[in-house]
Structure 1
């Protein structure tokens, strides 16, 4: 937690006022104050400067402003006696939890031998809502028949799951599609932060997948001509090629522009490569229509958003996950607990002069909150998760 949270309390300013001043959502401010997670789409130093201006105008002293961005440890919550717990205020309550682990005592208390929210072991473990089904089908049709799409979603929305499902689905259906996935470990959008993914790296990955025994040419021009020839030969053999780039929000602008060149590789009227970019919402900033540097890419790229779980489908999602683990949902959580989870992962926001509700009901966030509530219920000796248990997490 940042000291900034205490500074705001000291000058009597709510988090919502800071959010409105910075033109950010209250959820983003809660993540910053409670977990020190800075918005990836903004420059940290610039944002800190704007926060200092806000604190100065709010009457904070120089010492508090200077130390506002230091981290402090959160006090341990007293869960032994619910009467001693401070009632959550809603505004200052952390919206999201870090990765939670199902404790052995919890497994025993609920007779669970498998974590319902663990990594999926097969396609049948994947819960599919109408929204997920649409994104899933768009990705599959793009891989099979060509196209250029960007799949955007928050962390924990299920993007990586859909990528794994695509690869598995093509393999199970024996579709003649080569999935090409460049390595994106430590990938950043510039060489100062880390290693940027350049078009030459993508071309090398494509060449290795299409013609692994061919020795690459020395010059860049010769290598791209060699790649084009290899793609034509692979197409003549009956294959299609789909380039899947995960963590695409870390792609530098020049690489985004070069993707258009890759998309233009063709034989006759047939495009030789389809492209699927998968990234967090920061990708939408780079693909903005106002960004003249990538205008040609934006005009050709279809953007698909992976939304949160609808509140009305939360019970359906939980029921599916627990049934896959061999446990009826009613033996784990009651209706009030489910409503409390929906409320905990939703937050009111004021944008453009109107009130909105921001939903954080993403599978990862739901799973972390549910496991934390089950661990707390076991600690308290409560047989099922109730609304009070969820509020106590």
Structure 2
């Protein structure tokens, strides 16, 4: 539609007059003319007819207007759309006065953590397991905030000076088979425990002696008043044999006292591996509680955005109510009865969408993010 923009400029007609004629916002008209991006309503054919009538009204030759093909691919979408990683442009930083993008940057302290009812429950479950023992698996989609909660747990234990030793085996190249990468085995977990509790002592070579040694250092540390928690990220990449061996780590005891709490953190595939329908892993399923980190509830989205902004600026200087409602429409799919079928209101997806919208608003000269901006990012 760049040719229409040029026709208006040549004839000294402002885009605002066209927007008034079409009964659309200036931002929507900007998107149509500059990017061929149409709003959800009215339909593209009605808008194109309105543009033709406007040009004819101002005696602009219609033969200069290229044929407008009608496609409503976006309006007919069946699934919510995710954006790639978005980086805030210099223009957007200046317009919204944000030197650091709060929506995509990592949380630096517990004060910045937004706690919905669901997040608070998962956070409490992780802390209870770390302090008092237990075996839980925290699952959720990519970008749901699982790693953030792990960092919050470790920071909380240090901040409150609690006698809990965290043990994190390295999973940099871990896969569930040795063809795609390297599997994390029980021997590697034993080494991680031993190195965390007795880093100056040499671990035994014999498997039987090594595991006895690990059990002994756990008991000695427990007698000194410490609790221990094993945290494994990317746990969806753990092979079935290692998951079964974790049950035996969990059963290490000193009298009635459990010596090791276990927190597995992984994507939803971890929940499938730990399904009660999988007979090969029934001994683990009966002992491991699955805690799922749910997406942000639509009613809590504005609270989440305001919390991420913290004290940098007010939420209404970034996005208006229509923009927030549009984010829900964009990332939540419902059925004909209004029930949620799929929600992608996860922190990472929300952050990328808001960042892309700020970039577009800045490029169009629109002061705040509106529904039109969100629906056309």
Query: Structures share a fold, TM > 0.5?
Result: yes
- Preserved CA contact (<8 Å) 1:349 1:355: yes
Q: CA deviation at 1:95?
A: 1.0
State the match for 1:336 in structure 2.
322
Cα contact 1:80–1:380 (8 A) shared by 2: no
Q: Is the 8 A contact 1:349 1:358 kept in 2?
A: no
Contact 1:150 1:301 in 2 (8 A): yes
Q: Which residue of 2 aligns with 1:222?
A: 209
Please state how far the C-alpha of 1:269 moved relative to its aligned partner.
0.5
1:232-381 matches, within 5 Å, as 232-324=219-311, 326-348=312-334, 356-381=340-365
Structure 1 position 364, deviation (Å): 0.6
Larger radius of gyration: 2
Q: Does the 8 Å contact 2:80/2:332 carry over to 1?
A: no
2:110 alignment counterpart: 123
SS at match of 2:98: coil
TM-score by length of 2: 0.80
Deviation at 1:86, TM superposition (A): 4.2
- For 2:225 and 2:148, locate their aligned partners in 1 and report how far apart those are by CA, in whole Å: 28
* Structure 1 range deviating more: 135-144 or 88-97: 88-97
Query: 1:156 aligned to 2:143?
Result: yes
The Cα offsets for residues 202-252 of structure 1, whole Å up to 9 and x where unpaired, read as 110000001111101111111001100111111111111100011110000
* Contact 1:248-1:279 at 8 Å conserved across structures: yes
Q: 1:300 aligns to what SS in structure 2?
A: coil
Q: Moved runs in structure 1, 4+ residues, more than 3 A?
A: 353-356
Q: What is the RMSD computed on CA atoms of the aligned residues?
A: 1.8
| Cα distance, 1:116 vs structure 2 | 1.2
Which secondary structure state, in structure 1, belongs to the residue aligned with residue 286 of structure 2? helix
* Structure 2 alignment gaps of length 5 or more: 1-29, 40-73
Corresponding residue for residue 107 of structure 1:
93
Q: 1:92 to 1:130 in 2, by over 3 A?
A: closer
SS at match of 2:184: coil
Question: Which residue number corresponds to residue 97 of structure 1?
Answer: 83
- Alignment partner for residue 384 of structure 1, among 351, 368, 371? 368
1:159 Cα shift?
0.1
State the alpha-carbon separation in 1 of the partners of residues 36 and 244 from structure 2: 58
**May I ask how many residue pairs the two structures share in their alignment?**
313
> What is the CA distance between 1:83 and its match in structure 2?
7.4
Q: Distance in 2 between matches of 1:187 and 1:292?
A: 24
1:29 maps to what in 2? none
Contact 2:80 2:333 in 1 (8 A): no
Q: State the shift of 1:183 in Å.
A: 0.6
TM superposition shift of 1:279:
0.6
DSSP-derived class of the 2:310 partner? helix
Q: How far apart are 1:357 and its partner, in Å?
A: 2.4
Aligned ranges for residues 169-248 of structure 1 at < 5 Å? 169-248=156-235
2:174–2:183 Cα contact (<8 Å) kept: yes
- 1:90, distance to aligned residue in structure 2 (A): 4.4
Ranked by relative contact order (alpha carbons within 8 Å, sequence separation 6 or more), the top structure is 2
Separation (CA, whole Å) in 1 of partners of 2:247 and 2:181: 24
Q: Is the 8 A contact 1:210 1:231 kept in 2?
A: yes
**Structure 1: distance between partners of 2:204 and 2:298:** 54
Structure 1 counterpart SS, 2:270: helix
